[in-house]
Amino acid sequence: MTGMVALYIFMLAAFTGYEVISRVPVILHTPLMSGSNFVHGIVLVGAMVALGHADTTLEKTIGFIGVLLAAGNAVGGYVVTERMLEMFKSSGSRGGRETH
Amino acid sequence: MAEGDIRLLIDASYFVTAVLFIFGLKRMSSPVTARSGILWAGAGMLVATIVTFLYPGMSNYPLILAAIVVGTIVAWWSGKRVAMTDMPQMIALYNGMGGGAAGAIAAVELLRQNAVHETVPLILAVLGAVIGSISLSGSLIAWAKLDGRINGTWRFSGQQIVNGVLFLATLAVGAYIVFIAHGHASPAIVAAFFGGALVFGVLMTMPIGGADMPVVISLYNAFTGLAVGFEGYVLQNPALMIAGMVVGSAGTLLTLLMAKAMNRSVSNVIFSNFGASGDDQQGEIKGTQKPAEASDAAIQMRYANKVIIAPGYGLAVAQAQHKLYEFVKLLVDAGVEVKFAIHPVAGRMPGHMNVLLAEAGVPYDMIYDLEDINDEFKEADVAIVIGANDTVNPAARTNKSSPIYGMPILNVDQAKQVYIVKRGQGKGYSGVENELFYADNANLVYGDAQKVMIAMIQAVKSLEGGH
């Protein structure tokens, strides 16, 4: 991929991110920050490739730490986002356990 | 499968992942579909992770698997057991990990001696390394501060000059790696480069007060996204480029929105040492704080037409949100109109209080943002402030010397009667005295928020029982 193509990808992705967030209500700011935190956990894929191509012990050590941290980012980000969003209910869909 | 087919499968899967991420984020931006949004994004992550094992020319599979398993178990366990009140620092921690991973990718690339490095990928590798490293060490400091492991702020004279020099020195070493060493710098120089960026992240975050930390975490979230996007180009991986840049721009916008909600600019947060001064230049407040019994307050609310609740972080610290909602249900059953008024920075970051109320089962259509409800306070018979302070301080409207001057506040003082549930006579997070507590229509209910709510529930229940 040439530098120009990369520039196009970056530009379009940046507009996408801006558009997706720009109409978000304040009540979702924290879950959304957490959700976007999860999305950059995709760094896991990059870290796997980096470790997969590591040769020396030093490279392997750093690569290992990279995959470890990236997995933490992805999994932790998912778990806390899911826990937060699970709780969003409207009064219409509250279900039986809230009523008495 | 031939190697070409495998490449095609991998590329197609990454494409699907990018679509799922954007679709998931889109769904996460509305309360009705938010829950499914994270599931879609999660599916995308799973697909990308699995196909990456098929990546051609890879080795070290046992190491990769071991790192994923350990990272997953630790993160899963910690994510499941963290309290909702501690969510902001947990996000900071996971975010720092992502920044560190981006830095690690760059480090492996820069240490690889036998590869031919081109200039453009090298520049992006170095930039991503700087941003990712700052995000890692800065997020760790943010986590430690919000978690109460580091208290106060840490400053010395000339700090910004030291920071500036360190930052430029780090960039200079980065420029050396790119333009002079062409990616073949010695490990010692690469280590010095990363060390400089990491130390800068620490120094940059240490002087920032805890109240501003949410903005900082959001900023570092955007940083990590950007770093991931840059490293994605180094690895020629469009999934990382797209996801990273989407988060980079979304995170930047979110940071600006948060800063705006707090009436602060981002540069103000980072460079101006909020909370250091202010408490020495406040005028005396006239009047006295009038205490009230929880039961009296409860009975007045029971017979009111309209009650607005302004909750703050103190509510969550006391774990009183469940009891509060129990009390609210009693009021609603008695025909009282009850609304929750949420300040943008109630809790520890925008939207945090909504999460805490949702945890207690409060339906989100009872919850109103500041702009939507501020005009209704003057129609309210009772406004009750629970564990909030700075977000209801009228000094933000009137007192120009106050550090919170100009911040939008909830107009609770316009209600006919204001009750403030408060543990003691302390000040808010910003350290500013609150003149609302001395107002004629305000009474203070002292005590732990949970105990106060229990007393209020009992007062209303005993009333019903007496019929």
Question: Using CA atoms, how far apart are residues B63 and A68, in angstroms rounded to an integer?
Answer: 10
Does A88 reside within a domain? yes
Confidence check: pLDDT of A89 > 80: no
pLDDT along chain B (467 residues), means of 10: 86 95 91 90 96 93 97 96 89 96 95 81 95 97 88 76 93 94 90 96 87 87 97 94 95 86 76 49 64 90 94 85 92 93 80 85 88 91 90 83 78 92 72 81 90 92 74
CB nearest to A60's CB, from B60, B72, B105: B60
Judged by a CB distance cut-off of 8 A, whether residue A8 touches chain B is no
Secondary structure (DSSP) of B260-322 = HHTT--HHHHHHS-TTSSSTTSPPPPPS-PPB--HHHHHHHHHT-SEEEEEE-HHHHHTT-HH
Domain assignment present for residue A53? The answer is yes
- A52 vs B: CB within 8 A: yes
Query: Rounded distance, CA B316 to CA B348, Å?
Result: 10
Ramachandran angles phi, psi of B421, nearest 5°? -90, 125
Q: How far is B69 from chain A (nearest CA, A)?
A: 8
Tell whether A57 is covered by a domain. yes
Phi/psi for B174 (5° steps) reads -60, -45
Of B48, B225, B355, the CB nearest to A36: B225
> CB of A55 within 8 Å of any CB in chain B?
yes
Domain total in chain A: 1
A49 within some domain: yes
d(CA B298, CA B180): 73
Q: Which residue has the higher pLDDT, A88 or B446?
A: B446
Range of A83's domain?
28-93
Which candidate in B279, B390, B413, B448 is catalytic? Answer: B390
pLDDT of residue B285: 63
Which of B97, B254, B366 lies nearest to residue A32, judging by beta carbons? B254
**B342, B311 in Cβ contact below 8 A?**
yes
CB contact under 8 Å between B31 and A50, yes or no, is: no
Please, what is the Cα angle at B328 between B373 and B321, to 5 degrees? 90
A57 neighbourhood in chain B, CB within 8 Å: none
The SS3 of residue B206 is coil
Select from B302, B312, B318, B370 the least CA-distant residue to B341: B370
A26-82 pLDDT, tens digit each? 778 888 889 999 999 999 999 999 999 999 999 999 999 999 999 999 999 999 999
- Contact of B371 with B410, CB cutoff 8 Å: no
Q: How far apart are CA A76 and CA B78, in angstroms?
A: 7
Which residues contact residue B171 at a Cβ distance below 8 angstroms, ignoring those fewer than 6 apart?
B130
Q: CA-to-CA distance for B360 and A87, rounded, in angstroms? A: 8
A2 occurs within a structural domain? no
- Helices and strands of chain B, counted as H and E runs: 17, 6
d(CA B432, CA B280) in angstroms, rounded, equals 10
Distance in angstroms (rounded) separating the CA atoms of residues A72 and A37: 11
Local structure of A38: helix, strand or coil: helix
Cβ contact A39–B60 (<8 Å): no
CB contact at 8 A, A30 and B87: yes
| Whole-number Å distance between alpha carbons of B170 and B201 | 11
Looking only at the bridges linking them, the beta strands covering B382-386 and B367-369 are: unpaired
What ipTM was reported for this prediction? 0.90
CA distance B125 to B119: 10
Residue A54, in any domain of the structure = yes
DSSP B233: H
| Contact residues on chain B for A64, CB-CB shorter than 8 A | 63, 66-67
Helices B34-52 and A29-39, packing angle to 10 deg: 10
CB of B337 within 8 A of CB of B307? Answer: yes
What pLDDT sits at residue B467?
53
A19 is a domain residue: no
Residue-wise burial string across A52-75, b where 16 or more C-beta atoms lie within 10 A, e elsewhere: bbbeeeebbbbbbbbbbbbbbbbb
Measure the CA–CA gap between B47 and B174, rounded to whole angstroms.
35
Select from A40, A51, A88 the Cβ nearest to the Cβ of B364. Answer: A88
Dihedral in degrees, nearest 10, Cα atoms B254, B256, B262, B265: 160
pLDDT reported for residue B423: 81
Pairing of strands B382-386, B442-446: unpaired
Decide if A49 and B364 are in contact by the 8 Å CB cutoff: no
CA distances from residue B428 to B128, B314, B343, B433 in whole angstroms, order as listed: 38, 10, 14, 7
Residue B137 backbone phi and psi in degrees, to 5: -70, -35
Do A90 and B364 lie within an 8 Å CB cutoff? Answer: yes
What's the whole-model pTM score?
Answer: 0.82
What is the spatial order of strands in the sheet that B306-311 belongs to?
B367-369, B337-342, B306-311, B382-386, B417-422, B442-446
Tell me the three state secondary structure of residue B114: coil
Q: Does a structural domain hold residue A20?
A: no
Which contiguous run of DSSP H or E holds residue B339?
strand B337-342
Backbone angles phi, psi at B32, to 5 degrees: -70, -40
Please state, in angstroms and rounded to a whole number, the distance separating the CA atoms of residues A84 and B15. 28
Nearest to B101 by CA among A51, A37, A44, A39: A44
Question: Which residue, A10, A86, A98, is CA-closest to B87?
Answer: A86
B267-306 exposure pattern, b = at least 16 Cβ within 10 A, e = fewer:
eebbeebbbeebeeebeebeeebeebbbbebbbbbbebeb
Run of H or E residues at B68: helix B61-81
End-to-end CA distance of chain B: 80
Distance CA B289, CA B434 (A): 11
pLDDT recorded at residue B408: 83
Query: B381 catalytic, yes or no?
Result: no
CA distance B161 to chain A (A): 31
Give the containing element (helix H, strand E) for B422. Answer: strand B417-422
CA gap B95, B228 in Å, rounded: 11
By C-alpha distance, the chain A residue nearest B120 is: A3
Q: Residue B276: its pLDDT value, please?
A: 44
Token pair listed for B232: 């994605």
